[in-house]
Structure 1
Amino acid sequence: MSRLSQLLRVAGLGVALALLAARPSLAQAAEAAIPTASAAPAAASEAQTLLLWFLLGTLALVILLILLLATMLVVRLRPQLRRLYELPTVRPTWSGRVLGLLVGDSTLVRGEVRDEILDHDYDGIHEFDNDLPPWWKYSFYATIVFAISYLSYYHLAGAGQLQGAEYAAEMQQAALFVSAEADDPNKLTTYQPLTAAGDLSSGKSLFTTNCAPCHGANAEGKVGPNLTDEYWLHGGEVNHVYKTIKFGVQGKGMVAWKGKLSGKQILQVSSYLLSLQGTKPAGAKEPQGEKEAPGQPMAKL
């Protein structure tokens, strides 16, 4: 046991030296963490963060030394622990099984292995009478406890929100952060179609330059849908068209023209599209989307 005493003294001395070495730095960090009347709050916060990390590092070092000491003790005392584990009054107990892990017996984890064959077989297949692994049984028991707790908390007591209610609450909270300005894609504008010849001419020029490659020179539809029939994918009222042009349709190939065209230019294009309704150009693409009630100024993108 003299060697064990030496190991204990060395480990204790290591811990003491670590704490003594940390003491000056700890004192300096503590002084820096106390803000003076002229110190900036940011500097005080940074000093407190450094102090926290220093304390965590010191704690980790102490824990590492304790684990190292415990490992050395177990290795050194393994023969004595083995003799203790072999005692008939110790081995069957729970503490004895934990002790068995330290001396190399994994019965606590894998369970008892008994090579006893049951008195029945199926098609020549024999079944052994072995225990389920304890880790599996205790995990199964834990799932039962969790299920009962979940049912009691969420369904019987009603203390917690279910998924539907939680989703609704999160969406309601998220709506508070959504901008209500003109750049809000969830807010529909209230524009009226432009009817002046100059605006429609500008809208046609913008359409020919930016939209014709996908929708055709006469809006008959190519890659994009036909814009002259009465079937609409995203709403044909002028403000729906304005929204579609401005913000695009993600995943459908319709790019957002926000930042490329001004608000007035987008409204000019939208109004020009309304003027094309019912023109029935040659080679028009098959209808897409849903049919909307006639008599409303509409267009489709």
Structure 2
Amino acid sequence: MLARPLAAARRFRRVLLLAAGLLAPALAAVAQTVAPEAAAATAAAPAMGVQTVMFWFLLATLGLVLLIFGLLFVLLVIKMKPQLRRLYELPTVHATWSGKVLGLLVGDPVLVVGRDKDELMNHDYDGITEFDNDLPPWWKYGFYFTIVFAVAYMVFYHVTYTGDLQAAEYETEMQQAALLVSADDDDPNKLTTYTALTAGPDLEAGTTLFATNCAACHGTEGEGKVGPNLTDDYWLHGGDINQVYKTIKFGVTSKGMVAWKGKLSGKQMLQVSSYIESLRGTNPPNAKEPQGEKEAPVITAVSH
């Protein structure tokens, strides 16, 4: 009874050796066939380095070898499935871990899903009973993996500080983005660091410029007409001094707000922006309803 499975195992080993012997000439032929094509590709694309060509050639060869081995393995398993099943049913093989791996080849997934004991425990509540079964191996292996992953994550990010945390990644991305910002003053993506002007002459100049150029749309007191109300804490394009400056300079053409660059100097646009900042909270009569997002007012006392 024991001789047949052992003989089957010996035959399986001989088949593997024979397959390896047959595969060697095939791989040599494949290499001879692919080599001229690789040489032609190298000549056609001189810009590619020889190392790059060799890397892809070796990678393709490796993929082909693995594919051939996989197909041979599947064919051998299908051909020898009866012998493998008899070998798997041996008591000395069936209960071992390697035997369970062999069971996957013959259609028994006990290694992955486990085996139900079908033994009832002494728990009975309202006619509901409980089986004494272990957790499925796939669940336990997944749980073990999460433990290993958590330890590796903690060591990588919080012990050795090899990886960047979210704050560090954000700073790195912002630095990279800053490199893409043009140094040209006409670039709408350029970041400015202006603070609101608080000197009397600057605010007076801003008041005059506002009355001349902005009051027609925003009202003489910033209460809003065609344009939005500038005296509340709600803003469509940002209420910070630099955001207001950007809106004045580049405009919002889709909403009828013209760009004032080229018509006003940088100093004048900052004076108007500072005057608009000073209007917040003045609550003029007949103010237009709020529009946009609410922002907390920023109090600044630094002059430009």
TM-score by length of 1: 0.66
Higher mean Cα deviation, 88-97 or 119-128? 119-128
Structure 1, unpaired ranges of 5+: none
Cα shift at 1:194: 9.8
Q: 1:79 maps to what in 2?
A: 82
Q: 1:29 maps to what in 2?
A: 38
Q: 2:40, 2:297 → 1: CA distance? A: 75
Kindly provide the CA deviation profile for residues 70-129 of structure 1, in whole angstroms up to 9, marking residues without a partner as x: 111111111111111111111111100000111111100110111111111122111111
Is 1:154 aligned with 2:163? no
Q: 1:289, 1:151 → 2: CA distance? A: 38
Alignment of 1:254-269 (within 5 A): 262-265=261-264
The match for 2:124 among 118, 121, 133 is 121
Answer yes or no: is the 8 Å Cα contact 2:156–2:163 preserved in 1. yes
Q: Which has the higher helix share?
A: 2
Is 1:185 aligned with 2:194? no
The match for 2:71 among 55, 68, 82 is 68
Q: 1:186 corresponds to which letter in structure 2?
A: L
Answer yes or no: is the 8 Å Cα contact 1:26–1:51 preserved in 2. no
Cα shift at 1:12: 6.5
Cα shift at 1:271: 5.8
Is 1:130 aligned with 2:129? no
Kindly provide the CA deviation profile for residues 242-282 of structure 1, in whole angstroms up to 9, marking residues without a partner as x: 22323568xxx87886xx55343486677678789889987
Higher mean Cα deviation, 114-123 or 100-109? 114-123
Q: 1:57 maps to what in 2?
A: 60
Q: 2:243, 2:122 → 1: CA distance? A: 77
Q: 1:264 corresponds to which letter in structure 2?
A: K
Q: 2:182, 2:18 → 1: CA distance? A: 67
Answer yes or no: is the 8 Å Cα contact 1:203–1:269 preserved in 2. no
Answer yes or no: is the 8 Å Cα contact 2:100–2:110 preserved in 1. yes
Q: 1:248, 1:68 → 2: CA distance? A: 66
Instruction: Give the secondary-structure state (helix, strand or coil) at the position aligned to 1:120.
Output: strand
Cα shift at 1:165: 4.0
Cα shift at 1:173: 5.2
Residues 202, 46 of structure 1: alpha-carbon distance in 2 compared, 3 angstrom cutoff: farther
Structure 2, unpaired ranges of 5+: 1-7
Answer yes or no: is the 8 Å Cα contact 1:230–1:292 preserved in 2. no
Answer yes or no: is the 8 Å Cα contact 1:111–1:134 preserved in 2. yes
Kindly provide the CA deviation profile for residues 127-148 of structure 1, in whole angstroms up to 9, marking residues without a partner as x: 1111211011011112122223
Instruction: Give the secondary-structure state (helix, strand or coil) at the position aligned to 2:46.
Output: helix
- Identity among equivalent pairs (%): 49
Instruction: Give the secondary-structure state (helix, strand or coil) at the position aligned to 2:94.
Output: coil
Answer yes or no: is the 8 Å Cα contact 1:117–1:127 preserved in 2. yes
Q: 2:301, 2:61 → 1: CA distance? A: 78
Instruction: Give the secondary-structure state (helix, strand or coil) at the position aligned to 1:140.
Output: helix
Answer yes or no: is the 8 Å Cα contact 1:33–1:45 preserved in 2. yes
Residues 132, 256 of structure 1: alpha-carbon distance in 2 compared, 3 angstrom cutoff: farther
Cα shift at 1:284: 3.2
TM-score by length of 2: 0.65
Residues 46, 140 of structure 1: alpha-carbon distance in 2 compared, 3 angstrom cutoff: same
Alignment of 1:280-291 (within 5 A): 283-285=286-288
Residues 133, 201 of structure 1: alpha-carbon distance in 2 compared, 3 angstrom cutoff: closer
Answer yes or no: is the 8 Å Cα contact 2:123–2:130 preserved in 1. yes
Answer yes or no: is the 8 Å Cα contact 2:224–2:288 preserved in 1. yes
Residues 293, 145 of structure 1: alpha-carbon distance in 2 compared, 3 angstrom cutoff: closer
